[in-house]
A and B are shown apart, each in its own frame.
Chain A
């Protein structure tokens, strides 16, 4: 039926506009952003990491986190894969990428302090800020606790205080931002006995990492994890085995988080601007159709009325004519009758005295 088809076409047009704009709006990100010059980073060289968990312990102390169930020198903890939690901003995981007989590889995980943080892009109260110094910091004073940042973070970093009823916070590594501002090293870096963690300017650390790869090509893969991942991060990783086998996802791509959403966000003002136009247009078309329909109906009624009037008039005229004819006939009849009567009277008077006739 024409109406549901019209409706459908309207919606399809609507969808088309959204689709088309989500393509073009990405052009907004044609601009290039280099990030903060001189921002800091940490290079984690897994070939040097011995899995001692001193970084975890230092993190715990520096950030005044609750004491863990099992002490930090208990390396049995490493037997299980862990992730960051509300009680631990950083954790060390043990992997056996070459089989259980070969020596393990340890990976320290924490917030990667992305150059273009997905968490910041996702937060609807701007609770996250990428600082010029390099850290991505969180402001609990505005956080609503929607946990969309946790959905967004590609590295599964932010944790949440699920056990708190009324004032739960997002918990994640701060890169020891307060310490950085004081000119100190991040807690974990300071505690690391093997320089598996090195803090410095990001540009410089990338050069250092390249250097190591170049000097020991048999020891390292030619890939600095975090240089480009998700738009680049301020935590850089070096290792000799595929990153994916160490729980560092290699399928994230190099696009910054904002690039995934800019299309949809760009469509919003287009809808605001064009929907009223489109919808009032459809409304006006329907109104007009209704009006035309009403006019046509009115015209039809009018012509019907006119026709009946004509007919009525015709009939009236005919009736009048007939009446006139009748009248004429009646008059004629009357006249005739009168004449006849007169003639009869004459005859009668003629019979009595014929002198009248001579007078006439």
Chain B
């Protein structure tokens, strides 16, 4: 945190992480959905 001086840097840092998390969510959600419904008949 000590390297962040400006709001711009802060936003860049946090948004970078958030975009990665969003990609993971986009992959993870369908996978979890399949797991969740894996035992459902039909």
Contact = CB atoms under 8 A, between A and B. Distances in A.
A120 B9 CA distance: 10
Interface string B1-41: 00011111111101100100110011001100100000000
Residue among B4, B6, B8, B14 having the largest count of chain A Cβ atoms under 10 Å = B8
Contacts of A145: none
A117 interface: yes
Contact of B8 (A34, A130, A272): A130
Interface in A24-66: 28-29, 31, 33-36
B6 A276 contact: no
Contacts, number: 51
A231 B7 contact: yes
Nearest to A280: B33
A152 to B, nearest CB: 12
A116 B8 contact: yes
Given A258-B11, A276-B29, A116 B6 contact: yes
A117 B10 contact: no
A115 B9 CA distance: 11
Interface string A227-265: 000010000000000000000000000001011001001
B22 to A, nearest CB: 5
A150 B5 CA distance: 24
Contacts of A259: 7
Nearest to A261: B11
Given A269-B21, A272-B22, A273-B25, A28 B14 contact: yes
A269 B18 contact: yes
A127 to B, nearest CB: 13
Contacts of A256: 7-8
A36 B4 CA distance: 9
B26 A272 contact: yes
A33 B4 contact: yes
Contacts of A115: 6
Contact of A121 (B11, B21, B29, B30): B11
A35 B6 contact: yes
Contacts of B10: 31, 33
Contacts of A29: 7
A268 interface: yes
B18 A117 contact: no
A280 B29 CA distance: 11
Contacts of B26: 272
A117 B5 CA distance: 13
Interface in A103-129: 115-117, 120-121, 126
A227 to B, nearest CB: 16
A33 B5 contact: yes
A258 B7 contact: yes
A265 B8 contact: no
18 contacts: A31-B10, A33-B6, A33-B7, A33-B9, A34-B5, A35-B5, A36-B5, A36-B6, A116-B8, A121-B8, A121-B11, A130-B6, A130-B8, A132-B5, A265-B15, A269-B25, A272-B22, A276-B33
When A and B form their complex, which 8 residue pairs have the shortest distance between CB atoms, in order from nearest? A258-B7, A272-B22, A33-B7, A36-B5, A276-B29, A33-B6, A258-B11, A116-B7
Given A28-B14, A265-B11, A272-B26, 6 more contacts: A29-B7, A33-B4, A35-B5, A121-B11, A258-B11, A280-B33
